[in-house]
Chains A and B, each alone.
Chain A
């Protein structure tokens, strides 16, 4: 259940007096700010995950708990980043009201799964035309019974074309093929969900054309913490204010969507 709205109290260090600031729009509890969380190293030729995520402090305990569970199960947690810079632009792989701007989302390293299912730390399963993934993590734990999964593997397209036959710029287009893999796995999606992190479906740019899927829109790597959000009430701006100062938010593109309201799936 979400915490009720409450005013924020700030200290003015110069005046040494207490200033009460009413944020009627702030439905979720503090703390304010962000902090780093260490990720596990992942490095293969040409592929290298980040060594951390920077996330909103309010979700840090949940992320710590999820990572502890993953590591206890013998898996690793790779990173492609957490909070997104306010100046990062949007395109068909980046939503204008992404949880990443609020520091409430993490990306596993986007090339640590779907790349080589026989060795990747993660195996991605699910129907690509539905776009909802279930991710399994590889474990060396000998107590885990080996199982067989139908993995989705990306196959790069060298010369992608659109529906009119015109070449599409960029090199991050792929098709998918199914690969049967047998190894020791545990359900990573379930571990994240047990710790308040939900998956999201692939974006249309990944699903619209099975012959030219934009890999950056696959989103199998994305998990977000929606704790404290109230359907029909929580605004996007209130979440941004939990991680960014007013000065940072002023004139930023994400803050232009500050009045959009959480509908249980997206802000609109």
Chain B
């Protein structure tokens, strides 16, 4: 630890021992704490002490380390906006199993309020000798007009199911998690391609799910696509219904695509890491080839049936027989990250 950080930590410890910063500095976790994605937190103090010094990333990592885990590697903290929120990203390894078989490694995201108070945390498994990548961007995901910090992660390996998704630290002091891969029953998997857009002024993530399975010979089969959309509200990530317009069967794909004006070019929904904007220069305008039903779904996004198709671009000829359809929702049951409790 650099002497400067050591001095800061020493000063913090001194303040804590005098009772000055006791409310602001969280205590290390006690033995027997759960190794899950959720941990309790103490009540938030009305105001942190003005003289409190921000703990180092190493000090914060120690606060979210579970019993039996190693010291943690590469702790990195990020400012979330300018309200004193900090997001810690740190990797841990379980020392209990390290000597026997493949060690268990996890990556933990922890959101701290001013003075280093733990607000929420989320944990993802790391690969066993695969690829574990994280990238982040600033983006308003909950529509409050403030930039949140969004981390896109993916784990890729050959021995376990891959795992993709994002975790956003909002300026409202919450962690919100949106998976982009889901394991279904048996060998079925859902992998997503997604993009962010705005519908009726509300930030929305539009997701196209590709369903895949493995046949008896071990060959991967694509079963089809389905779409869904999510918005972040006060309770966390919420699946919402979207409505679109079906304009063509696959055989009419070229003719339908010709309707799309250049400023609404077909957006690639795939990205290595960052989930792009659906249509950064115009209204949301998507074309989705759905393999199973052989439909091309060309849609102006709307949250209600009444508004379906109403945001159709003025300079675009409407199809002759548009049909409003509801895009089926995917109902996740465990995507929300509850507030940490202490």
Does A pair with B? Answer: yes
Instruction: Kindly state whether residue B281 has any CB partner on chain A within 8 Å.
Output: no
Instruction: Kindly state whether residue A90 has any CB partner on chain B within 8 Å.
Output: yes
Given that A36-B100, A167-B193, A171-B156 are known contacts, is A159 also in contact with B268, CB under 8 Å in the complex? yes
**Structural contact, B212 and A156, CB atoms closer than 8 A:** no
Complex: A216 Cα to B161 Cα, angstroms? 12
**Structural contact, B101 and A110, CB atoms closer than 8 A:** no
Instruction: Kindly state whether residue B243 has any CB partner on chain A within 8 Å.
Output: no
A106 → B minimal CB distance (Å)? 11
A25 → B minimal CB distance (Å)? 25
Instruction: Kindly state whether residue B134 has any CB partner on chain A within 8 Å.
Output: yes
Instruction: Kindly state whether residue A172 has any CB partner on chain B within 8 Å.
Output: yes
Chain B positions 47-70 with a Cβ under 8 Å from a chain A Cβ:
none
Sort chain B's interface into a size bin. 35 or more
B75 → A minimal CB distance (Å)? 15
Residue numbers in B under 8 Å from A90 (CB-CB): 214, 218
B110 → A minimal CB distance (Å)? 20
Closest B residue, CB atoms, query A219: B158
Instruction: Kindly state whether residue B159 has any CB partner on chain A within 8 Å.
Output: yes
**Structural contact, A79 and B268, CB atoms closer than 8 A:** no
Residue numbers in B under 8 Å from A162 (CB-CB): 222
Complex: A45 Cα to B76 Cα, angstroms? 13
Which residue from B98, B129, B154, B225 sits with its C-beta under 8 Å from A80?
A: B129
A-B pair number, CB within 8 angstroms: 116
Complex: A239 Cα to B162 Cα, angstroms? 29
Instruction: Kindly state whether residue A132 has any CB partner on chain B within 8 Å.
Output: no
Complex: A93 Cα to B187 Cα, angstroms? 14
A154 → B minimal CB distance (Å)? 11
Instruction: Kindly state whether residue B148 has any CB partner on chain A within 8 Å.
Output: no
Chain B positions 224-275 with a Cβ under 8 Å from a chain A Cβ:
225, 268-272
Instruction: Kindly state whether residue A65 has any CB partner on chain B within 8 Å.
Output: no
Residue numbers in B under 8 Å from A168 (CB-CB): 210, 212, 220, 222
Complex: A159 Cα to B193 Cα, angstroms? 9
Instruction: Kindly state whether residue A211 has any CB partner on chain B within 8 Å.
Output: no
**Structural contact, A158 and B156, CB atoms closer than 8 A:** no
Instruction: Kindly state whether residue B191 has any CB partner on chain A within 8 Å.
Output: yes
**Structural contact, B103 and A92, CB atoms closer than 8 A:** no
Binary contact readout A157-191 vs B (1 if CB under 8 angstroms, 0 otherwise): 01100101111111110000000000000000000
Complex: A52 Cα to B144 Cα, angstroms? 48
**Structural contact, B271 and A166, CB atoms closer than 8 A:** no
Given that A36-B99, A172-B162 are known contacts, is A92 also in contact with B225, CB under 8 Å in the complex? no
Q: Which of B133, B134, B158, B270 has the most CB of A within 10 A?
A: B158
Complex: A83 Cα to B191 Cα, angstroms? 27
**Structural contact, B159 and A84, CB atoms closer than 8 A:** yes
Instruction: Kindly state whether residue A91 has any CB partner on chain B within 8 Å.
Output: yes
Residue numbers in B under 8 Å from A91 (CB-CB): 187, 214, 218-220
Sort chain A's interface into a size bin. 35 or more
B159 → A minimal CB distance (Å)? 6
Binary contact readout B112-153 vs A (1 if CB under 8 angstroms, 0 otherwise): 000000000000001011111110000000000000000000
Closest A residue, CB atoms, query B224: A166
Chain B positions 168-215 with a Cβ under 8 Å from a chain A Cβ:
187, 189-191, 193, 210-212, 214
Residue numbers in A under 8 Å from B103 (CB-CB): 50-51
Residue numbers in A under 8 Å from B130 (CB-CB): 80, 110-111
**Structural contact, B272 and A171, CB atoms closer than 8 A:** yes
Instruction: Kindly state whether residue B165 has any CB partner on chain A within 8 Å.
Output: no
Residue numbers in A under 8 Å from B219 (CB-CB): 91-92, 205
Instruction: Kindly state whether residue A95 has any CB partner on chain B within 8 Å.
Output: yes
Instruction: Kindly state whether residue B289 has any CB partner on chain A within 8 Å.
Output: yes
Complex: A47 Cα to B191 Cα, angstroms? 22
Instruction: Kindly state whether residue B291 has any CB partner on chain A within 8 Å.
Output: yes
Given that A81-B102, A162-B222, A216-B158 are known contacts, is A167 also in contact with B210, CB under 8 Å in the complex? yes
Complex: A164 Cα to B250 Cα, angstroms? 12
Residue numbers in A under 8 Å from B162 (CB-CB): 170-172
**Structural contact, A54 and B102, CB atoms closer than 8 A:** yes
Which residue from B156, B214, B289 sits with its C-beta under 8 Å from A167?
A: B289
Instruction: Kindly state whether residue B164 has any CB partner on chain A within 8 Å.
Output: yes
Instruction: Kindly state whether residue A113 has any CB partner on chain B within 8 Å.
Output: no
Given that A81-B102, A159-B270, A216-B158 are known contacts, is A169 also in contact with B210, CB under 8 Å in the complex? yes
**Structural contact, A92 and B218, CB atoms closer than 8 A:** yes
Residue numbers in B under 8 Å from A51 (CB-CB): 98, 103
Complex: A37 Cα to B131 Cα, angstroms? 22
Instruction: Kindly state whether residue A225 has any CB partner on chain B within 8 Å.
Output: no
Instruction: Kindly state whether residue A268 has any CB partner on chain B within 8 Å.
Output: no
Residue numbers in B under 8 Å from A81 (CB-CB): 102, 128-129, 159
Residue numbers in A under 8 Å from B158 (CB-CB): 80, 93-94, 110, 216
**Can you list 7 residue pairs at the A/B interface with Cβ under 8 Å?**
A80-B130, A81-B129, A85-B159, A89-B214, A158-B268, A165-B289, A171-B270
The interface of chain A, by Cβ under 8 A from chain B, is 36, 45-51, 54, 79-81, 83-85, 88-96, 107, 109-111, 156, 158-159, 162, 164-172, 205, 214, 216
Q: With A36-B101, A90-B214 given, can you name 9 additional A-B contacts, CB distance below 8 Å?
A: A36-B100, A47-B131, A88-B159, A94-B158, A94-B159, A110-B157, A158-B270, A165-B289, A169-B222
